[in-house]
Amino acid sequence: MNELMNPSAELMCQETGNTLEELDKFSGLQLKWLSYYGFGFSPREACKLTDIKYNTIRTWEQRDPEFKALIANKAEFRRKYDKALTRLEFMRNFRLCLKKDYEVLSKPESRLGKDDRAYLTQVRKQYNPQQLHVLDQLGMGEESTGQGPTFTQLVMNFIKSA
């Protein structure tokens, strides 16, 4: 399965305890739907936003008692998972932004289109000595050990400092 569609719950465990480990058993598609549901969208609205048929949700409920129990009490679900799902979505989006940066920055100049050049103008503002200093403050300045933080640790430090 595509890793963008099935984020590992391990990403959030250090911040939220074992909260997301409980969700790791669900598929990426189920997690995608659950994130909309958890943000307050009705089951049908969450289906529309994720391109999942409403009957699929009903099938998941019939086949998986844990899924059914999880969504049975929306208020409890939101109380327990809202913060963790919000942070997970933020981390995933942040990682996709870095991927886009890399794709544009790694193109030969002769292959840059108008949109790439405009994007490059904007992204260059983010890669400067001040930003490097911020990364150092967030824990990226641990090169001396050869074991700097993982991407997840970096993002979690960034979130905590924001």
Please report, for the chain, the start and end positions of each structural domain, with discontinuous segments joined by +: 10-93
Please tell me the predicted confidence (pLDDT) of residue 97.
85
In order, the DSSP letters of 29-51 are HHHHHHHHHHTT--HHHHHHHHT
- Per-residue pLDDT tens over the stretch 102-161: 888 899 989 999 999 998 888 877 777 787 777 677 655 544 344 555 555 556 665 565
Q: Which own/partner contact pairs does 149-152 have at CB distance under 8 Å and 24+ positions apart?
A: 151/95, 152/10, 152/11, 152/14, 152/91
Mean pLDDT of the 19-29 span? 76
pLDDT at 135: 66
- From residue 118, give the alpha-carbon distance in Å to each of 97, 115, 121, 123: 15, 5, 5, 9
Residue 82 has a pLDDT of: 77
What pLDDT was estimated at residue 12?
39
Whether 62 has a pLDDT exceeding 60, the answer reads yes
Is residue 78 predicted with pLDDT exceeding 50? yes
Task: State the pLDDT at residue 126.
Answer: 77
pLDDT for res 144: 39
Rounded Cα gap, residues 15 and 20, in angstroms: 10
* Percentage, residues of the chain above pLDDT 90: 21
Whose structure tokens read 């942070």? 87
Residues 106 and 133: their CA atoms lie apart, in Å, by 23
Q: What is the pLDDT of residue 10?
A: 43
**CA–CA distance, 10 with 43 (Å, rounded to integer):** 26
